[in-house]
Amino acid sequence: MKQSKQTARDTLRHNFETAANDYLKAFCEKHEYDYEDARNNRVAGDVGGITEVGYLFVSLNDIRTDIDMNAPADEFLKWHDYTLRVHAIQSAIPPLDGACSRLQCKASDFTVPNYLSWLRGCSRKSDAELTEMENDLKSDLEWREKTREKWDAWRKELEELAKQGDF
């Protein structure tokens, strides 16, 4: 006797959820996270999506990649920290109209690899290159703030002169 379509879907769903839970458990054991806590902290309760593991939000795809590739235990956090640094650099660069600024052009070369590409040795910026970019960004933002303060002071002076009729 053939299984009904509903029963077949239920079996698929059950097998998927079991596999997802097994992957999550293996990941938590490998990285010393609390499995029950992670299992209970899935975003929107989605078994195949993203879960909060420790203080990180991790996709099932990255969990599966970590286990299937037998990645070194410290590699996941190296990748995670790298992606956060690159995102922070990219998001802190102020947009300009027209041509890109020196920092925007330089940052366009900073890409964020997925975990599988990272494990396969994709090109990435060195810690020194990231630090240089962060320092350049800090200098640029400080310059912009000083320039903004000067413009504000000049504008106030002009407004005062205009009020006094000396302008």
Is the model more confident about 161 or about 62? 62
Whether 56 and 127 share a structural domain: no
Look at strands 56-59 and 50-53 and give their pairing: antiparallel
Region 21-38: mean pLDDT is 97
Is the model more confident about 43 or about 102? 43
Domain closes at, from 46, 68, 90: 68
* CB of 31 closer than 8 Å to CB of 55: no
Domain closes at, from 52, 68, 84: 68
Cα–Cα distance for residue pair 158/167, rounded to 1 Å: 8
Whether 60 and 78 share a structural domain: no
Provide the domain limits for residue 5: 1-68
Whether 147 and 86 share a structural domain: yes
pTM reported for the whole predicted model = 0.74
Whether 149 and 85 share a structural domain: yes
